Amino acid sequence: MAEPEFTATGVRIDKRLRSLTRAGQVRISDGRLALLTSYGTEIDSAPVQAVRASKPWFAAEDRALADLNGKRYLLTLGDHDPAPGEVGPPAARRFIEAVRKAAGRGT
């Protein structure tokens, strides 16, 4: 298995008004985006070309939307990138850029 292109831990993953996990993981690896619980159980995954990632206009800076398999997930990542060597989720902006880059849609 290749090294993941993007990994974020400590991510809150919501679907509509329901919280699926408060410390989940988002991983882009081998052309797939996977949303995982804190225990590593898969919530949903899809080929990165079929994923639409965007920034909701109504939410805080640390939030991103991900549409996978016809379902919309609200991801709460960090509002800024952690300092080198520090733990914490990367910024939502980096997640959106990683999805677009992995899908070959540019930055």
Q: What tens digit of pLDDT does each residue of 6-25 get? A: 998 899 999 989 999 999 99
Q: What tens digit of pLDDT does each residue of 38-96 get? A: 999 999 999 999 999 999 888 788 899 999 999 999 999 976 677 777 766 678 889 99
**Confidence (pTM):** 0.86
Alpha helices by DSSP H, the chain: 92-102
User: Which of 104, 99, 105, 84 minimizes the C-alpha distance to 27?
Assistant: 99
**3-state SS assignment for residue 82:** coil
